[in-house]
Structure 1
């Protein structure tokens, strides 16, 4: 089975680095017209130059900005066929006792991991409904299915919320030819934050983590991208509301 996206218009968020960048590259290589979005302007510009894509520097936690982004893509291309929502992360936070968490700590992670996905889906839904076709793929996490290895309460809660949002949108949008699914990655060393987390485990913790994975290796950003592209493809047209764990069997 060869998966192609010739002439499909795809918006990939979190595309400045790591998993988002790998997803964008996968769509581009498969023939899609790809637009990139991220808060990291420098990283996004590098990805765009490498792939030859249009890019948009935007804070997706802001509803107006997210809606404006979708409007800009539709104005340029006349359509929007797929969203691949990889923006998120820990926003520089580390695991701390619950007593130390401030309202700002909590809200920043929800804005990054949940709000942006909701606002983009909200903006894209009318366009996809009118076309009778759409694909939305969120990137959640194993932390959305069980306690998080990061030890960050807001991150685990936000990823659980993203899983719930994915299932709810699948139910609501399915009658209009729109599928909504999620990829839940295991631990992937794909950006500075995950490198810091990996280093914090030390040699013994790293060995325990890898030994708990059936395949006895960490995943790569490309492993996650392959799953996201499948869920966005036409062969996956009867798959919706699903959370696909891509974690080497750890779950």
Structure 2
């Protein structure tokens, strides 16, 4: 069903590790030209090397509106634009849960910028090319925190991911007339990067057991589980699906 993306160019942000890396590798394995994007230059270069010749690395700060515009203009020149955009970059930027009165404006703004504003900037940059082509796929990676609460209690993270879900629905209606679908994947807890690994260890054995027992399938997922959902949304078979949020969390 999601077998081939030959002739398509896919831009994947947050591709230096975790979900983004798995998504970039999955598209490359299925014939897409992949632009693996991240602010972590070494990590995204490693992803491109793992993916092979059809994947290139792009070191980019997605919170820099001007830089995003310049990078997309270059991609337009070299590849004729972007067919598939996966907004995967995000995270908590090393922050931990604290009482609301302890949160500085800078802490709040930083998380909102990378989880919400960056997705907006990239979507804004690719939209003209997708409109011109009459076809496009935008897939945002939010979180169970955007549908409920943050397990770590980080107010900005839950808010930004909820905002990203709202952006998904809004853009689906704005861009649908141009043959562009916009959907959202909301992962459950997956040990996919150094941050989630620290969160897992901090839970202790009792907390880990409690978390797994709360999942219908009684196991944690993997980055490939998230990549598979993205591939579906990006496929031709999902052409009449837009504005949707798919929870990939093992069942709650």
Structure 1 and Structure 2 fold alike (TM over 0.5): yes
Give, in whole Å, the separation in 2 of the partners of 1:57 and 1:123: 16
Measure how far apart 1:180 and its partner are: 0.1
Q: Does 1:37 align with 2:42?
A: no
Q: Does 1:10 align with 2:27?
A: no
- The aligned residue for residue 150 of structure 2 is 148
Q: Which stretches in structure 2 are left out of the alignment for 5+ residues?
A: none
Once the two structures are superposed, residues 103-147 of structure 1 have per-residue CA deviations (whole angstroms, 9 ceiling, x without a partner) of 010000011101111011111111000000000000000000001
| TM-score computed with the length of structure 1 as normaliser | 0.98
3-state secondary structure, aligned to 2:57: strand
**Structure 1 segments (4+ residues) deviating >4 Å:** none
Give, in whole Å, the separation in 1 of the partners of 2:188 and 2:74: 33
Aligned residues, how many? 250
Trace 1:181-200 onto structure 2 (pairs within 5 A).
Answer: 181-200=183-202
Measure how far apart 1:86 and its partner are: 0.5
RMSD over aligned Cα atoms? 0.8
Measure how far apart 1:2 and its partner are: 4.5
Answer yes or no: is the 8 Å Cα contact 1:3–1:230 preserved in 2: no
Trace 1:96-245 onto structure 2 (pairs within 5 A).
Answer: 96-245=98-247
Answer yes or no: is the 8 Å Cα contact 1:189–1:195 preserved in 2: yes
Give, in whole Å, the separation in 2 of the partners of 1:43 and 1:110: 23
Once the two structures are superposed, residues 146-176 of structure 1 have per-residue CA deviations (whole angstroms, 9 ceiling, x without a partner) of 0111210000000000000000000100000
Give, in whole Å, the separation in 1 of the partners of 2:229 and 2:157: 22
- The aligned residue for residue 94 of structure 1 is 96
- The aligned residue for residue 46 of structure 1 is 46
- The aligned residue for residue 79 of structure 2 is 77
Q: Which stretches in structure 1 are left out of the alignment for 5+ residues?
A: none
Once the two structures are superposed, residues 203-248 of structure 1 have per-residue CA deviations (whole angstroms, 9 ceiling, x without a partner) of 1010000000000001100000000010011000000000000000
3-state secondary structure, aligned to 2:183: strand
